[in-house]
Amino acid sequence: MKVILKRYSSSQPDLPQGIEYLTELWIKWIGEWSMGIDLSICHISPQQDTNLFSWKEDQFSSEQEFLFIDPARGFQSLDLGLFLENARDMIRDEGPSAVHALALSRSINSRILIDLDEGYGISQVYPLGLTDERRIDGYTLSGLSYFPRKVESNNFTEGCPVIRGTKNAGYRKDYPYLFHEGVNTYGLPMGGRFFEEINSPANFSIAEKGIYEKRRETIFLDRDGVMIKDTGYFAGLNFQILPGILPMIRAANSENKLVIVVTNQSGVARGYYTEEDVIGTNRAIEKELLKSDARIDAWYYCPYHPDGIIMSYSYASLCRKPEPGMLLRASSDLPVDLGRSKIIGDRITDRVKLPYVGFVLAGSKLS
């Protein structure tokens, strides 16, 4: 498989800090994955970018699949095997298509944001955070795109998806691999650490470490209704540990699986309790579990809700299940292998919108 890597000069304007670092990280990432996937790099300049789809080089055929990497979008230490498996499955038997790896970002005022439909099609693009609602985060391009073949067209005037804003026609030329007439464009949210820029050798070392990190199978647990009895909007010490959760956690611990709690806590946004109350409750539950040698590796909670009455939490967030933001954050903070992970919830809305993460309804057998 060919990899088309866009090369920049550090003297070019409006580039992220450390563009040389970002480029080097992608090259190292390709080198690591080329051990299991036959990858070879072709370099293009920014001036060649708009001709990407009608590329006339003889280095690969029009029917050969390829990856396109734009380091100016950042670097993400994602699982290439997982990305390719799901990207190929998304566009099987379709016409001209593209799948773009997406990262979770809170830089909503400096990054383009992307909305997905239920089939992972890119439905809306918002330049520089010009969204239709209050939101705390969003999907953005991570720099990697997959094409099953070259597209013999170069018309960007009626491209899909819809781009918002009145003076943003230039974005079609800035992102020609995203806006393209006649191409089905998909977005696939991916885990791993995402770096929008690299501003020091120390940050480069941190990012580089993520390329070689050995990731682990993970069990994600909902809290209320799975770990403790669900009594509605709850915070405090008067909780009841549910039967069966202790041996399940101990078994995962003994098998070297990570155990991570992911819980919606919109009671914060609704004014029922505070974020400090949520943290205190989680610590009390963790202390109780440890008495029985059941270890939780990390806790994530989402205090946001667009209908909240506390304005500082009245936001839409991709961290609120069934959106997958908490899982993506966990895979950035810890060596989580999302492709070998499951989430256990007590209701269907706990099934997160990631096609490669398993779901188990509480009470059914975990295998």
The single residue of 79, 115, 137, 222 carrying the catalytic annotation is: 222
Could you tell me which of 201, 181, 205 has the C-alpha nearest to residue 193?
Answer: 205
Q: Which residue has the tokens 């806006």?
A: 179
And the tokens for 181?
């007439």
| CA nearest neighbour of 294 among 344, 349, 339, 251 | 251
In this structure, how many other beta carbons lie within 10 angstroms of the beta carbon of residue 169? Answer: 11
* In contact, 283 and 320? CB cutoff 8 Å: no
Active-site pick, 70, 137, 224, 297: 224
Question: Quick one: angle between helices 201-212 and 19-33, nearest 10?
Answer: 20
Candidates 214, 227, 250; CA nearest to 343 is 227
Do residues 178 and 100 lie in contact, with contact meaning Cβ atoms separated by under 8 Å? Answer: yes
The strand pairing partners of 220, in sequence order, are 260, 343
Residue 45's CB: how many other CB atoms inside 10 A? 10
| Token pair belonging to 141 | 């391009």
222 is catalytic: yes
| Annotation says 224 is catalytic | yes
Beta strands (DSSP E) in the chain are 2-6, 40-44, 66-69, 75-76, 97-105, 113-116, 122-126, 138-147, 162-163, 184-189, 194-195, 218-221, 258-264, 298-302, 342-345, 358-361
Cα 91 from Cα 98, distance rounded (Å): 8
Residue 28, token pair as written in the block: 């190292």
Residues known to be catalytic = 222, 224
